[in-house]
Structures are given as C-alpha cells and as structure tokens.
Amino acid sequence: MGARAGGCDVTDQTFLQITVSKLDAGIYHNETFHLASDGQLGRVLWRSDHRLMAMGGMRVDPAVFPRLRGQIPYPARLKPTGGGGRAPRGVLIEMIQSDPTGAPRISRLSQMPADIAAVLAGWRQNVAMHPPKSGRYLWVKPAITAGQPDIRISPDSCDQPLNKALMAAVAAGDFIVPAPAAVKPFVTGGNKYREQFRILNADQSYLFGVLSAP
C-alpha cells in the first residue's frame, strides 16, 4: 500500500511472487517467479549464499494473473487440497500477493497446489534464461512480520542512494534491481553472513538481500 507520512511516498504494485527453495548441502537454491498484473513474468535463480545465478522473462496472457491469484491458498500455512504434492523435507514454498489497496498476503505452504505446479512447469520450459551481468544486485519483497528494522526510512532519507534504490524497486514492483555502491555496509563485516535485512517505510515492512554475479 502507499506509504503514509513518516516515510517515502511510494505505492506498492500489484503482483504475485512464488519462490520455491530447496536445501542442498546447507545452501538454499531458490527459484522465484514474479508475475505482474499486466502479464510481465520474471524468473530468477539465486542462492542463499548470495549468488545470483540466472534471470529471464517473458510476457504471458494477463488473464493468467487473476486465475493464478484465485488458486493461491490463504491464510499462511493453509494446506491446500486438490491433488497438490507435499513438498519434500528441505523444500520451502512461499507465495506473496501484493496489492496497493492493502497489506501483502503471504502464504508459506507444505504443499504445492497441482494447478499452480502445472503453470510453473510450463514457465520453466518457456522462459529463456541468461546469466546476469557481473555485479551486485538487491532483491526486495514485502513483509508482514514485525521486527526491528535495519533501515528505518524517513522523509529526509528518501534520496540516500540505497534507500532510493530500494524504494524504486518497490515503486516499480521489481524483485531484482542493480545495487548501488552504498550497499557496501551490508556486505562487509558481520553483515556479509546475513541473508536478509528489514526495511521500515512508514507503516510498511520489506525485506531485502544482496546478491552477487561473477
């Protein structure tokens, strides 16, 4: 939703985001699908050890968006029915629904609904993937859980390079954006071992992390 007084004036975009995370040798291998309401689809492969592996995108029929949204179970941790397969141990499934009219809806599932699994399988076959350009990137997503923020954005800090990049990603509805040089404090010292950080912009929380491409 749009930020109220006390933060940067940005409006969350309407999108669906599905992430499947598989644990292998202590590292989560993540696959994120990001679908905007206009049918723009992105697919990102990334790892919990801060590696951005591949990216790709394509346009799909915008009618897919409301149909897919209607298949996502809610509230969080609701076990769906309809023949979905239970995720094996070490697999996490997260589904985010973002809408500017209200708080994000986030479901973390133990099963993948069969209809959604079929859609994702088709996207995997059709999205052309490519390695990212060398450099650092930010991933950004809405959050609903409370917690002490690492960055508390105020109106007079909106133009700081890192805050500006983070809020630009929110305003555009992007999951992955290039990181500014100001991200360095979050990849050095003790922070280099952390997977994610919390932002508070007015009354809305977000999580972000830093990824590197060789």
User: Do residues 155 and 104 share a domain?
Assistant: no
Residue 151, domain member (yes or no):
yes
pLDDT in tens, 111-139: 889 999 999 999 999 999 999 999 999 99
Residue 1, domain member (yes or no):
no
Last residue of a domain, one of 82, 103, 130: 130
User: Do residues 123 and 36 share a domain?
Assistant: yes
Question: For the chain, how far is it from start to end, CA to CA, in angstroms?
Answer: 35
Nearest Cα to 208, choosing from 69, 8, 50? Answer: 50
The predicted structure's pLDDT at residue 5: 53
Spatial contact of 74 and 109, defined as CB atoms under 8 Å apart: no
User: Do residues 69 and 139 share a domain?
Assistant: no
User: Do residues 148 and 75 share a domain?
Assistant: no
Last residue of a domain, one of 89, 106, 130: 130
User: Do residues 121 and 21 share a domain?
Assistant: yes
User: Do residues 41 and 93 share a domain?
Assistant: yes
User: Do residues 24 and 118 share a domain?
Assistant: yes
pTM, two decimals, is 0.89
Last residue of a domain, one of 86, 111, 130: 130
The predicted structure's pLDDT at residue 2: 45
pLDDT in tens, 51-107: 999 999 999 999 999 999 999 887 555 444 444 444 556 789 999 999 888 789 999
Q: Which domain holds residue 147?
A: 135-213
How many Å apart are CA 81 and CA 145, to the nearest integer?
Answer: 26
Amino acid identity, position 208: F
User: Do residues 32 and 126 share a domain?
Assistant: yes
Report residue 163: phi and psi, to 5°: -60, -40
Residue 164, domain member (yes or no):
yes
Q: How far is CA 33 from CA 58, 122, 175, in A?
A: 11, 12, 9
User: Do residues 86 and 181 share a domain?
Assistant: no
Mean pLDDT of 36-57: 97
User: Do residues 205 and 156 share a domain?
Assistant: yes
pLDDT in tens, 134-185: 999 999 999 976 678 999 999 999 999 999 999 999 999 999 999 999 999 9
